[in-house]
């Protein structure tokens, strides 16, 4: 009887450890897809008008988050927040949550993530956008920097 209890205990421990490893692997895979294992530019795509507008995101392997827009000449530019000095914030991934640690600490549920698209549902206390969910697509230009 004692042997069965010990085996049951070890089985339970292996199950917990295995689940923990699966979760960590899932977070690593999401991180790699979000950052391309270096830096990845994501352009906003709002379905209601089928055009690029709004704020783009840069996500880096070092977990840095930066917002950008496009100037009239098509170049990326940092968003001007007036008198706020803003050089970027951090983000983290936990399960299917993407949290951006800035002044408002935004939280998004990752609804879909592929190599070239990211669908997020805004679950923040202070909303990031007026849309419940929104789509970001991998920018065709992954080389040009932000001015």
pTM of the model: 0.74
φ, ψ of residue 122 in degrees (nearest 5)? -80, 115
| Residue pair 95/26 in contact by the 8 Å Cβ criterion | yes
Beta bridge partners of residue 8, listed in sequence order: none
2-138: CATH topology is: Lipocalin (2.40.128)
98/64 Cα distance (integer angstroms): 12
138/147 Cα distance (integer angstroms): 19
pLDDT per position as a tens digit, 2-57? 776 665 554 554 545 444 444 457 888 999 999 988 889 998 876 444 444 578 89
Q: Where are the chain's structural domains? A: 2-138
Cα-trace Rg, the chain: 19
């Amino acid at each position: 009887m004692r042997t069965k209890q010990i085996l049951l205990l070890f089985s339970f421990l292996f199950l917990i450890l295995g689940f923990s490893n699966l979760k960590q692997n899932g977070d690593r895979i999401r991180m790699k897809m979000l950052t391309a294992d270096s830096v990845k530019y994501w352009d906003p795509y709002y379905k209601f008008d089928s055009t690029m507008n709004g704020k783009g995101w840069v996500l880096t392997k070092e977990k840095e988050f930066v917002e950008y827009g496009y100037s009239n000449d098509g170049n990326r530019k940092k968003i001007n927040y007036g008198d706020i000095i803003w050089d970027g914030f951090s983000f983290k991934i936990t399960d299917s949550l993407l949290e951006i640690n800035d002044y408002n600490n935004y939280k998004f549920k990752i609804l879909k993530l592929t190599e070239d698209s990211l669908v997020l549902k805004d679950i923040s206390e202070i909303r990031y956008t007026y849309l419940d969910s929104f789509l970001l697509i991998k920018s065709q230009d992954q080389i040009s920097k932000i001015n």
